[in-house]
């Protein structure tokens, strides 16, 4: 495969280690002076300020600071989807040192146009462990040369100690692990104590040792909705509208760690907190157009709308957008308050129509739904109900209310028993798929 070696883009994800970036760029530029380099930086702002002038010393280096720890997998995923890359792309760990020219040429010799990528390929299990059951070929992202158009056809890396697990699992499941090609000298150069390195020096977990860990976890004070957690299906790519501080994402990823979890959260403080638990968080209103966000969310196999329909200005358009974006066999999960709950009906009957955190109308809600109107909305948006249940919770229905509700139902020609049934749940959790 004939390539212009000096035009191959190089992507590295960095975190709080200015010395590593200085070493990487300094040694790389000795032997490869003109390759475009992208530094996807997840450092704290004050440390990013130290890295920026280091990157600026070198030609053809673009420093992209996020201002928070984006993590290795999500950083690579962002680069894949947002940098406009084409053709062969090299992904390189930020703690690599280049010892001499030739490594990129060697990788390019192994890369054929149909391959996903080449590098160090070793067997790991679905948890990323080397000695686990049912191993599959795993391409290590520390130094891998990829065909980026092929990469985009498979699931993206995630926040995980083994960030390439989703695409590797998908390749193995499809019987296409032969799209990976092993390059033997990388096993030598990346070994803990090689007799002599050939092209690269890479001390595993260099960033981890400097910064004290992977920094995946941060405490959350929010209560996790266990009923909702139990019903959300296992997903490869999940979009959570109204992610809050990420407490739900944290609990979900403890169950399903190999998931590309996107959060959308309007509140600035909550969005910052959620970034510790989601793979990527957009701090914005889902109803505000954003081409970059929509491109990144496309083909998700699960969308979770927890309270989002109540806050939507135009729920019909929102659901139409979700349906057009999600995978054809994807699942929509909605959790919606039941406006028909008997306690709401009583408050309305006596004029207690106030905006409050626990009132009939909540301050941040624009829409209310009953079971019937919710099902109608989903149907109008092109979804087919596949499951779910009514969440009771709270106090049992007041016995004195029963005859009143029956009389009201009879007055308007409705089934009294169905009215009583719909007046009891506090909310509905529903699953639906594109019709």
Average pLDDT, the chain: 91
pLDDT band at 46 (very low <50, low <70, confident <90, very high): very high
Of 195-209, 263-277, 360-374, give the lowest mean pLDDT range: 195-209
Q: What percent of the chain has pLDDT over 70?
A: 94
Contact yes or no for 168/140 (Cβ under 8 A): no
HEC per residue, the chain: CCCCHHHCCEEEEECCCHHHHHHHHHHHHHHCCCCCEEEEECCCHHHHHHHHHHHHCCCCEEEEECCCCCCHHHHHHHHHHHCCCCCEEEEECCCEEECCCCHHHHHHHHCCCCCCEEEEEEEECCCCCCCCCCCEEEEEEEEEEEEHHHHCCCCCCCCCCCCCHHHHHHHHHCCCHHHEEECHHHHHHCCCCCCCCCCEEECCCHHHHHHCCCCCCCCCCCCCCHHHHHHCCCCCEEEEECCCCCHHHHHHHHHCCCCEEEEECCCHHHHHHHCCCCCEEECCCCCCCCHHHHHHHCCCCEEEEECHHHHCCCHHHHHHHHHHHCCCCCEEEEEEEECCCHHHHHHHHCCCCCECCCCCECCCCCCCECHHHHHHHHHHCCEEEEEEEEECCCCCCCCCHHHHHHHHHHHCCCCHHHHHHHCCCCEEEEEEEEC
Comparing 13 with 194, the larger pLDDT belongs to 13
**Beta partners for residue 240, in sequence order:** 263, 304
**Beta partners for residue 429, in sequence order:** 335, 389
pLDDT band at 356 (very low <50, low <70, confident <90, very high): confident
The pLDDT value given to residue 210? 47
**Tokens 């059951």 belong to which residue?**
133
Q: What percent of the chain has pLDDT over 90?
A: 77
Three-point CA angle 226, 222, 163, nearest 5°: 80
Give dist(CA 355, CA 403) in Å, integer: 28
Is 401 exposed, middle or buried, given 0-12, 13-18 or 19+ CB atoms closer than 10 A?
middle
Comparing 14 with 352, the larger pLDDT belongs to 14
The pLDDT value given to residue 249? 97
Indicate whether 272 pLDDT > 80: yes
Q: For 178-204, how does the pLDDT look when each residue is reduced to its tens digit (9 = 90+)? A: 999 999 999 999 988 888 999 999 876
Indicate whether 267 pLDDT > 90: yes
Identify the structural domains of the chain with CATH numbers, from first to last.
Answer: 5-211 (3.90.550.10), 226-434 (3.40.50.150)
Give dist(CA 169, CA 221) in Å, integer: 34
Give dist(CA 121, CA 110) in Å, integer: 13
pLDDT band at 398 (very low <50, low <70, confident <90, very high): confident
Indicate whether 357 pLDDT > 50: yes
Q: For 306-347, how does the pLDDT look when each residue is reduced to its tens digit (9 = 90+)? A: 999 999 999 999 999 999 999 999 999 999 999 988 888 888
Indicate whether 209 pLDDT > 60: no
Does the predicted model carry a pTM greater than 0.95? no
Pairing of strands 331-337, 302-306: parallel
Mean local confidence (pLDDT), 142-147:
98
The pLDDT value given to residue 352? 81
The pLDDT value given to residue 419? 85
The pLDDT value given to residue 260? 95
Mean local confidence (pLDDT), 146-159:
97
Mean local confidence (pLDDT), 86-100:
97
The pLDDT value given to residue 420? 84
């Amino acid at each position: 495969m004939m390539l212009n070696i000096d035009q191959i883009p190089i992507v590295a994800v960095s975190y709080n280690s200015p010395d590593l970036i200085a070493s990487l760029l300094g040694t790389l530029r000795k032997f490869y002076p003109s390759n475009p380099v992208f530094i996807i930086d997840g450092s704290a702002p004050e440390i990013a300020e130290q890295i920026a002038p280091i990157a600026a010393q070198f030609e053809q280096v673009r420093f992209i600071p996020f201002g928070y720890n984006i993590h290795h997998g999500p950083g690579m995923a962002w680069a894949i989807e947002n940098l406009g890359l084409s053709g062969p792309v090299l992904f390189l760990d930020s703690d690599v040192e280049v010892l001499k020219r030739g490594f990129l040429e060697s990788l390019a010799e192994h890369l054929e146009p149909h391959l996903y990528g080449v590098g160090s390929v070793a067997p790991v299990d679905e948890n990323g462990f080397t000695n686990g059951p049912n191993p599959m070929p795993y391409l290590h992202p520390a130094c891998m040369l990829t065909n980026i158009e092929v990469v985009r056809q498979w699931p993206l890396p995630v926040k995980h100690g083994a960030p390439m697990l989703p695409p590797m699992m998908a390749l193995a499941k499809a019987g296409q692990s032969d799209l990976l090609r092993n390059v033997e000298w990388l096993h030598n150069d990346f070994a803990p104590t090689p007799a002599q390195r050939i092209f690269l020096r890479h001390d595993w977990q260099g960033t981890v040792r400097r910064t004290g860990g992977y920094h995946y976890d941060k405490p959350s004070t929010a209560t996790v909705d266990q009923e909702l957690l139990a019903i959300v299906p296992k997903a490869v790519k999940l979009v959570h509208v109204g992610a809050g501080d990420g407490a739900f994402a944290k609990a979900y990823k403890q169950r399903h760690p190999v998931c590309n979890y996107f959060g959308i959260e309007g509140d600035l403080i909550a969005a910052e907190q959620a970034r510790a638990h989601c793979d990527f968080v957009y701090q914005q209103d889902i109803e505000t157009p954003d081409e970059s966000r929509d491109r990144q969310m496309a083909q998700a196999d699960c969308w979770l709308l927890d309270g989002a329909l109540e806050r939507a200005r135009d729920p019909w358009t929102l659901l139409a957008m979700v349906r057009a974006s999600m995978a054809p066999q994807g699942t929509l999960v909605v959790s919606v308050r039941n406006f028909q709950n008997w306690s709401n009906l009583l408050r309305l009957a006596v004029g207690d129509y106030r905006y409050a955190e626990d009132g009939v109308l909540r301050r941040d809600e624009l829409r209310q739904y009953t079971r019937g109107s919710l099902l109608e909305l989903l149907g109008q948006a092109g979804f087919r109900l596949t499951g779910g249940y009514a969440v009771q919770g709270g106090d049992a229905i007041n016995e004195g209310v029963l005859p009143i509700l029956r009389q009201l139902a009879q007055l308007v020609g409705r089934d009294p028993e169905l009215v009583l049934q719909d007046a009891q749940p506090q909310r509905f959790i529903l699953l639906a798929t594109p019709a």
